[in-house]
Amino acid sequence: SQIRRFGKFTAPEFVGERYGSQGARVIAAVISIAISIIYCVAQFKGLG
């Protein structure tokens, strides 16, 4: 996979290296956190 070739362990690290931008890395991290929060909220709603 491309992440292994770049020697990175997280999606934000990979994005930052791939595009050579700290800003892209931050945006990827924020998006990842937002997706995680949305997923958790949906799970808690499902619990009742």
Q: Which range marks the domain in which residue 39 is found?
A: 2-47
pTM for this predicted structure: 0.77
Residue 2 has pLDDT above 80, yes or no: no
Spatial separation of the C-alpha atoms in residues 26 and 34, rounded to whole Å: 12
Q: What is the pLDDT of residue 25?
A: 96
Beta carbons within 8 Å of 12's beta carbon, 6+ residues apart = 25, 26, 28, 29, 32
Q: What is the pLDDT of residue 37?
A: 98
Cβ 8 vs Cβ 14: under 8 Å: yes
Helices of type H across 1-48: 2-6, 11-19, 22-47
The alpha carbons of the chain give a radius of gyration, in whole angstroms, of: 14
pLDDT category, 48, cuts 50, 70, 90? confident
Spatial separation of the C-alpha atoms in residues 4 and 7, rounded to whole Å: 5
Q: How many domains does one find in the chain?
A: 1
